[in-house]
Amino acid sequence: MSEPSEFDELKVFDVLLDDHVNLSKICNVHCKFLWSEWVRAYPRQTFRFPKLIREKEFSAIITGK
């Protein structure tokens, strides 16, 4: 079973994607910009650095690769 902190990280990540990625799933965005936004947004809300979704996982989620 996942830890509560992992669930919280996924919730914050989902909100970030809703705010910054077009709902049409056309990920015509700059992955590095979104990554930098993620590593700023998550600690602001949780006071922790993301452990579950790191840069490699983030890129795979955004690009679908």
Write down the domain spans for the chain: 4-63
Mean pLDDT across the chain? 81
What distance in Å separates the CA atoms of residue 63 and residue 60, rounded to the nearest whole number? 5
**Token match 């700023």: residue?**
40
CB 27 within 8 A of CB 62: yes
| DSSP alpha helix (H) spans, the chain | 4-20, 31-46, 55-63
Residue 40 pLDDT class (50, 70, 90 cuts):
very high
Compute the average pLDDT of residues 37-56: 91
Report percent pLDDT > 90 for the chain: 28
pLDDT tens digit string along 21-34?
764 554 545 677 88
CA triple 42-24-45, angle to 5 deg: 10
